[in-house]
Amino acid sequence: MSGRGPAGGGRGPAARGRGGLLRRHRDFRLLWCGETAGKFGASVTSVSMPLVAVAILHAGPFAVGLLTAASWAPWLLIGLPVGAWVDRLPRRPVMLIAAAVSLVLFAAVPLAARAGWLTIQLLLVVALLTGAAAVFFQTAYTAYLPTLLAPDDRAEGNSKLQGSASAAQIAGLGTGGLIAQLAGAVNGMYVNATTFLVSLLCLRRIRHREPRATARTARTTSLAGEVADGLRLVAHDPWLRPLTLFGAASNLALMGYQSIQVVFLVRGVGVDPGGVGGLVAATSVGGVAGAFLARRAADGIGTARALLLFELGFAVPALLMPLAFGGVGLVLFVAGGFCVTAGVVAGNVVASGFRQRYCPPELRGRLAASAAFLAYGTIPLGALLGGTLGSVLGPRAALAVTTAGVPLAALILYFSPIGRTRDLPLSRPRAEGEPAPARA
């Protein structure tokens, strides 16, 4: 089926009035199902993979830390060129291949355990390769979604995807622990493999095809030149630059406190290890609330003001988290974490909608990869920062320092053009001499 524009079927305003996006847009419904299944599986794996390393292979803290580093390292190693590659190729086939690779790799872990071949080295290879597949999938997915939805539907689509991702994460955390307890940590990897099978089947059934000009535009520059184009777009644009710098600073602070929150709850507050998962899951519920609030706030007060409300206003309660104490004092930790998570998800909804409208289709892959390279690159640094501060200052003081960084990071947005306007721009003006994009 040849694509006829971003709406995936030419749906007009009358069609948009008949029910929600999940009900009336078959292809988005399939994408939503596949993406939600993938997020659920990733959440299960975040519990199962470390448990396999610790319980089955008797790995130490350093080896478990390497697993996390290996899963994020591909963003730093290949993130930039992947953005340029994705802009040269149809995005849906890239997503299909990435999902298939992840399916095979995750299914290989329990099979290797049955054969007696499971080692920490094998887990590290799986983490590295599935992390690389995630770079391809996420970059292609970010660029593909705006071609699937009409502009008026993108806010609702982003909200539904972010909300379901948060709900899937909450369910996955609990399910991962339950599977490990009832069937063993290794069998949790079968769950993740199954979710990628669901994702693969859903993507395969999508009928929408990208317009040829979007999927495959003639290139006159080298791969290195296209990578440089993406970095220049982020560095020079007055709207994209503060958003990207904020993402990097915010991830540094977020990962800093998340890396030590379990130590703080167990050793600083005295929470039983079995209760830690419930507390962390309770803070994650904020993501569902944030997805619900995002569109309403953006429509009511403007997209730029809503972004500041979520990223700065909702970040201030993070300062409550290090004040938590046993018993009723745990409400402080949950309230602070709930607000931060709600703000992060709602801010992501608003920012994603802005990027999809603002960035030309032929640059979306490079923009996604460049922004992710800079923002995700601070994640391992944040984990290292949190662990170092925890060792030097103690868990409570370290949590106080890192949670303070969450609202401080949002000052980047406040002192940028975003802080001086009501609404984010709807489109990017072309630079002098820049050719107009080709018609689909």
Final residue belonging to a domain, choices 218, 240, 272: 218
Residue 437 is predicted with a pLDDT of 41
Please, are residues 29 and 161 in contact by the beta-carbon 8 Å criterion?
Answer: no
Question: Does any domain span residue 318?
Answer: yes
pLDDT for 409 beyond 90: yes
Do 185 and 305 belong together in one domain?
Answer: no
Instruction: Provide the b/e sequence for 3-18 (b: ≥16 CB within 10 Å).
Output: beebbbbebeeeebee
pLDDT in tens, 18-32: 457 888 888 889 988
Question: Does any domain span residue 364?
Answer: yes
pLDDT in tens, 86-116: 877 788 899 999 999 999 999 999 999 999 8
Residue 388 is predicted with a pLDDT of 80
Do 209 and 228 belong together in one domain?
Answer: no
Distances (CA, A) of 396 to 213, 256, 263, 350: 54, 13, 9, 33
pLDDT in tens, 300-351: 999 999 999 999 999 999 999 999 998 899 999 999 999 999 999 899 889 8
Q: How confident is the model at residue 11 (pLDDT cuts 50, 70, 90)?
A: very low
Question: Does any domain span residue 7?
Answer: no
Residue 135 is predicted with a pLDDT of 87
Do 138 and 194 belong together in one domain?
Answer: yes
Q: Is the model more confident about 364 or about 129?
A: 129
Q: How many domains does the chain have?
A: 2
The residue type of 176 is G
Query: For the CA atoms of 209, 101, 375, 252, what is the dihedral angle to 10 degrees?
Result: 140
What three-state secondary structure class fits 213? helix
Final residue belonging to a domain, choices 167, 183, 218: 218
- Token reading at 429: 């003006």
Question: Does any domain span residue 434?
Answer: no
Range of the domain at 127: 19-218
Do 242 and 156 belong together in one domain?
Answer: no
Residue 98 is predicted with a pLDDT of 92
Do 300 and 366 belong together in one domain?
Answer: yes
Do 204 and 283 belong together in one domain?
Answer: no
Residue 390 is predicted with a pLDDT of 82
Final residue belonging to a domain, choices 218, 246, 268: 218
Q: How confident is the model at residue 12 (pLDDT cuts 50, 70, 90)?
A: very low
Residue 286 is predicted with a pLDDT of 86
pLDDT for 422 beyond 70: yes
Q: Model-level pTM?
A: 0.68
Question: Does any domain span residue 40?
Answer: yes
Do 180 and 236 belong together in one domain?
Answer: no
Number of H helices, E strands in the chain: 19, 0
The proportion of the chain whose per-residue pLDDT surpasses 70, expressed as a percent, equals 81
Do 139 and 185 belong together in one domain?
Answer: yes
Helix (H) or strand (E) run with residue 74 in it: helix 61-88
Other C-beta atoms closer than 10 Å to the C-beta of 168 total: 23
Residue 439 is predicted with a pLDDT of 34
Do 213 and 337 belong together in one domain?
Answer: no
Average pLDDT over the chain reads: 79
User: Which of 167-181, 233-247, 368-382: highest mean pLDDT?
Assistant: 233-247
pLDDT in tens, 247-302: 999 989 998 888 778 778 877 888 775 576 678 778 878 888 888 898 899 999 99
pLDDT for 417 beyond 90: yes
pLDDT in tens, 175-229: 666 676 677 778 878 888 998 999 999 999 998 877 664 444 445 455 566 667 6
Do 202 and 350 belong together in one domain?
Answer: no
Average pLDDT over residues 405-422: 94
Do 207 and 157 belong together in one domain?
Answer: yes
Residue 216 is predicted with a pLDDT of 44
The proportion of the chain whose per-residue pLDDT surpasses 90, expressed as a percent, equals 28
Q: What is the CATH number of the domain that holds 117?
A: 1.20.1250.20
Question: Does any domain span residue 3?
Answer: no
Among candidate residues 251, 271, 289, the one with its CA nearest the CA of residue 325: 271
Question: Does any domain span residue 6?
Answer: no
Residue 82 is predicted with a pLDDT of 82
Question: Does any domain span residue 12?
Answer: no
Do 248 and 214 belong together in one domain?
Answer: no
User: Which of 76-90, 225-239, 346-360, 409-423: highest mean pLDDT?
Assistant: 409-423
Residue 316 is predicted with a pLDDT of 96
